[in-house]
Amino acid sequence: MSTPRRRRSALPLTLSATALLVPLATACSGSASDGAAAGGQRLRVVMAFPPAQAMSPYGDDAVTLSRLAVIEGLTTLGRDGTAKPALAASWKRDSAKEWTFTLREATFHDGTKVDPAAVVRSLAAAGKASPKPRVLSDTGLTATARGADTVRIVTDEADPLLPQRLANPSLTILSAAAYTGGKADPAGHATGPFALAAVKGAVSATLERNDTYWGAKAKAPGVDVTFVADGTARANALRTEAVDVAEYVPISQASLLGDGLVHEFPSARTNGLSLNTGRGVFADPAMRAAAREAIDSQALVKAVYEGRADTAQGLLGPGVPWAADARTSPVGRTKAAGEAQVAKTKEIVLATYTNRPELPEVATVVQQQLSKRGFTVKQVVRDYAQLEADALAGKYDAFIQARNTLLDTADPVSYLASDFTCDGTFNISQLCDKRVDADVDKAAATTGTDARHAAAARAEADVLGTDALVPLLHERFVQGYDDSRVQGVSLDPLERTLITADTRLG
């Protein structure tokens, strides 16, 4: 599937953007007076990723819920990636594998109390979920209630990062009523500053302020959310003031919107080309090496990102500030196949998704670069929700994705475990390498900041040596809102937050 080059001139309101206005108008029409009576105005937000798992907390929808301030775990993450209190007011490590968490007084959106039984139930459900949340791909945990406000958590292996791990959105704590029919439904059963009141498929969602929140009450009475994968439509909705906040403004639209509407900041996100090591052309490491040699990162940054990205340095880019000093050379790389050998291979299928508008263009440039090396390439470009299952099942030869390397625990070891180990739950490259597994395990067990960074760097070198993933570039985030009208939007390099209790108009 070919992808047209993006337009360089300002675009009129597209059909997608027009369609965007309909659910927003509907959502706002019944609640404007209520919002005025409660103080403040409702927020209108457009998100890039429609729900892929019906708002299940066990997949990427959990991140959306976290960015909308609906769900919470026992802990949260500070700007520096350290664990901070959330539903747990405090905790202590009793031994290498045992921890005690003391809960604060809080209630769920349905009015029931947050107690040890709720924590045990929620963590057990996450552990039994299929597929298992990525954050649990390198460990298991067992929670038991101890007293009226205390929970004991025991991990399968020593886990110095347990407090950070428990901040992951997939380990959110929900009330008993959330768990029916083998599923977990956060609507009305979470604890955040906003309650998920309604979801209209993959189109829109309505949030209402949680007036019994344990922390500072939200300044906006509610949030009307629309999900629009088309990045240009999101930008046009912001430009025409159909929305107040637009998630992930496309690079092509950033200069058109202007500095007052565009907020750019560094990220820990690496765009990479995952190569299927399990079957097909790229099961041969020499072919993977040839693909790596074909990639020109600087050309991608210049042609697609207009300089609003950083050239590829490794799996861990500038958003992981210690990575450059800790990085070592890739281990055990295979000599690349020659052009004549490459030309004899079968057609490869290169897939990516539309939710991040730059990725189809990246795929086109990568296709050109691979074709120049002798590969015959077919593109598949769809909405992420239509691709994820096939990508995880290894049905594509190559897959381009934008991956936040600190998303799971604010520590890259979880990312390395979920994406590159034999039992990894997000292993799109289908990699299973003994050396990678061993060094990821060592990194997971390492304590001490510097030692852990060095161990993660060794595991990174192992992965890069397999060419299971070819780093393409490191993204910078661009969020859209009018800073003269909207305050309190969270510009979070870890991508956990966007709308917060402090986000408001005025």
| Cβ neighbours for 395, distance < 8 A, ≥ 6 positions apart | none
- Token digits for 491? 């510009």
How many angstroms separate the CA atoms of 428 and 442, rounded? 22
Residue 2 in any domain: the answer is no
Domain of residue 305, CATH code:
3.10.105.10
pLDDT for residue 319: 83
- 31 lies in the same domain as 89: no
Check whether 248 has a pLDDT greater than 90: yes
- In this structure, are 347 and 459 located in the same domain? yes
* Burial track 241-259 (b if 16+ CB lie within 10 A, e otherwise): ebbbbbbbbbbbbbebbee
The per-residue pLDDT for 39 is 56
Each residue's pLDDT tens digit, 83-95: 999 999 999 999 9
pLDDT at 407: 74
Better pLDDT: 383 or 138 = 383
Alpha-carbon Rg of the chain, whole angstroms?
23
User: What is the span of the domain harbouring residue 47?
Assistant: 15-70+192-261+482-505
Q: Which of 12-26, 142-156, 317-331 has the lowest mean pLDDT?
A: 12-26
User: Is residue 17 scored above 90 in pLDDT?
Assistant: no
* Residues 310 and 161 occupy one common structural domain: no
Which of 2-16, 29-43, 439-453 shows the lowest per-residue confidence on average (mean pLDDT)?
2-16
* Tally of structural domains, the chain: 3
The residue-averaged pLDDT of 16-40 equals 44
Q: What pLDDT is attached to residue 308? A: 87
Residue 402 lies in a domain: yes
Range from 17-21, 278-282, 283-287, 456-460 carrying the lowest mean pLDDT: 17-21
Lookup: tokens for 201:
């498929």
Q: Are residues 486 and 465 in the same domain?
A: no
> Rounded to whole angstroms, how far apart are CA atoms 435 and 331?
10
| 437 and 471 share one domain | yes
Mean per-residue pLDDT for 291-299?
A: 98
Residue 342 lies in a domain: yes
Q: For residue 4, is it within any domain?
A: no
Q: Is 320's pLDDT higher than 90?
A: no
- How far, in Å, CA of 99 to CA of 10, rounded? 55
pLDDT at 400: 98
Cβ–Cβ contacts within 10 Å for residue 212, how many?
Answer: 13
Res 82: pLDDT: 85
Average pLDDT over the chain reads 90
Domain shared by 65 and 80, yes or no: no
Residue 488 lies in a domain: yes
Separation of alpha carbons 146 and 149, rounded Å: 7
Greatest C-alpha distance within the chain: 72
Q: Please, which pLDDT band fits residue 455 given cuts at 50, 70 and 90? A: very high
Cis-peptide into 360, omega within 30 deg: no
Stated pTM of the model: 0.74
What percentage of the chain has pLDDT greater than the value 90? 77
Q: 251 pLDDT band (50/70/90 cuts)?
A: confident
State yes or no: pLDDT of 78 exceeds 70: yes
- In the DSSP assignment, the letter for residue 104 is P
Question: Domain boundary at 154, 179, 204, which?
Answer: 179
Q: What is the pLDDT of residues 122-141, one digit of tens each?
A: 999 999 998 889 888 778 99
Inter-residue contact 415 to 408 (CB < 8 Å): yes
Q: Do 454 and 340 share a structural domain? A: yes
**What pLDDT shows up at residue 475?**
92
Residue 170 counted as domain residue: yes
Res. 4: pLDDT tops 70 = no
Q: Please, which pLDDT band fits residue 255 given cuts at 50, 70 and 90?
A: confident
Give Cβ neighbours of residue 427 (< 8 Å, ≥ 6 apart): 392, 418, 419, 420, 421
* Tokens matching residue 233: 């439509």
Residue 184 maps to a domain: no
Residue 20: CATH number of its domain: 3.40.190.10
Verify that 362 and 471 share a domain, yes or no. yes
189 Cα distance to chain centroid: 22
154-200 confidence digits (pLDDT tens): 999 888 889 999 999 999 999 999 999 889 999 999 999 999 999 99
> Is residue 8 assigned to a domain?
no
Q: H/E element holding 101? A: strand 98-103
Residue ranges in 348-501 assigned as alpha helix (H): 358-373, 384-392, 412-420, 434-445, 449-466
Last residue of a domain, one of 179, 202, 224: 179
Tokens of 63: 């991140």
The four Cα atoms 287, 357, 206, 54 give a dihedral, to 10 degrees, of -20
Q: Measure CA 365 to chain center.
A: 24
Are 64 and 109 members of one domain? no
Q: Give tens-digit pLDDT for 407-450.
A: 778 889 989 999 999 999 999 999 999 999 999 999 988 888 88
3-state secondary structure of 308: coil
255 and 113 belong to one structural domain:
no
pLDDT category, 352, cuts 50, 70, 90? very high
Phi, psi of 223 (to 5 degrees): -135, 130
Residues in the chain: 506
Residue with tokens 């103080």: 39
Ranking 2-11, 144-153, 259-268, 382-391 by mean pLDDT, the lowest is: 2-11
- Please tell me whether residues 338 and 213 are part of one structural domain: no
The more confidently predicted of residues 124 and 356 is 124
Please report which helix (H) or strand (E) contains residue 28, including its range. Answer: helix 15-29
Regarding whether 417 and 295 lie in a shared domain, the answer is yes
Task: Give me the CATH number covering residue 86.
Answer: 3.90.76.10
